[in-house]
Structures are given as C-alpha cells and as structure tokens.
Amino acid sequence: MTEYNENTTAEVKEQSSWQSLVETERSVMPPADIYETDNEYILVANMPGVDKDDVHVKLDEKTIAIFGKVNFDSALNKKVILNENVTANYYRKFKIADSIDVNKIDAKYENGQLIVNLPKNDKFKPRIININ
C-alpha cells in the first residue's frame, strides 16, 4: 500500500497513473464502515479481489481518497457460471474532520479490507476532570 504524504517522482507518477484509471476505467464505491473509539476513528473499506500492492491512499488537506485496482485479466478469464459481483476498481473519497490528527493517520490492508486509523487530536479526546 502506498501513502502520499511526500511528493517523490515515483509517487507522483504512480498517483497520476491510478488517478487516470479512476477517470477511464469503471470504478465502484467500496462498502465502508466508520466507527469511533475514545482515541480515534477507524475506517474499514471492503475491497475483495485487490492485492495489497494495488491499494492506494491519498491524503489531501481536507480529504482522504482510497483506491483499489482489480486484476481484470484474471477476473475476466474465468468461466462464469453465476456472477453477482461487479468487476470494477474501487474508489471512494471521504472528508477529514478537523478533529483528526492528519500527521498520525496510518493504514493497513489485510483479508480484502483496508483499515485506516484516524487518530483524534488531543483537544478532541475525552478526558476525566478530577474533583477537588
């Protein structure tokens, strides 16, 4: 998985590559869940059929975009008996709240799920007030 916090030449080329795929190939919004703990929000997006190397996360000033590229060759070369799943790349964009510490966002991809940890800024975390 690639994160885009710094703009190296390879990242810019790869970023423009997957962004052009979003514009030219069919994509669907992956189903996602977002839940909250005391310290963070957790985004879980389902992207079955995507290899870890083909998952990308792009963080802008106020948004986070996720992309998963499907291997169309292997998907289309199957002798299909029943097809209830859509074969398409995955793309979705989320707004980032001010309560998120964007410098501490991290992500992992396992078992077809992208899990993005969005830590809260300290000033938005609940705290206990001691009574004197």
Domain assignment present for residue 132? The answer is: no
Whole-model pTM?
0.77
- Give the H/E segment covering residue 129: none
Q: Structural domain tally of the chain?
A: 1
Domain assignment present for residue 130? The answer is: no
Domain assignment present for residue 7? The answer is: yes
Domain assignment present for residue 129? The answer is: no
Could you list the residue range(s) of the whole structural domain that residue 106 is in? Answer: 2-124
pLDDT in tens, the chain (132 residues): 444 444 445 554 555 576 777 677 778 999 999 999 999 999 999 998 899 999 999 999 899 999 999 887 777 788 889 888 888 899 999 999 999 999 999 999 999 999 999 999 988 777 788 898
Return left, alpha or beta for 56; rule: phi > 0 is left, psi -120 to 50 is alpha, else beta: beta
The pLDDT of residue 14:
56
Q: What angle do CA 112, 117, 120 make, to 5 degrees?
A: 160
3-state helix, strand, coil in the chain (%, to 5): 20, 40, 35
Domain assignment present for residue 65? The answer is: yes
CATH of the domain at 21: 2.60.40.790
Domain assignment present for residue 131? The answer is: no
For 12-21, what is each residue's pLDDT tens digit? 455 557 677 7
**Nearest residue to 41 (alpha-carbon basis) of 90, 103, 96:** 96
Indicate the residue type of 20.
S
The pLDDT of residue 4:
42
Within 72-118, residue ranges assigned H as helices are 72-76
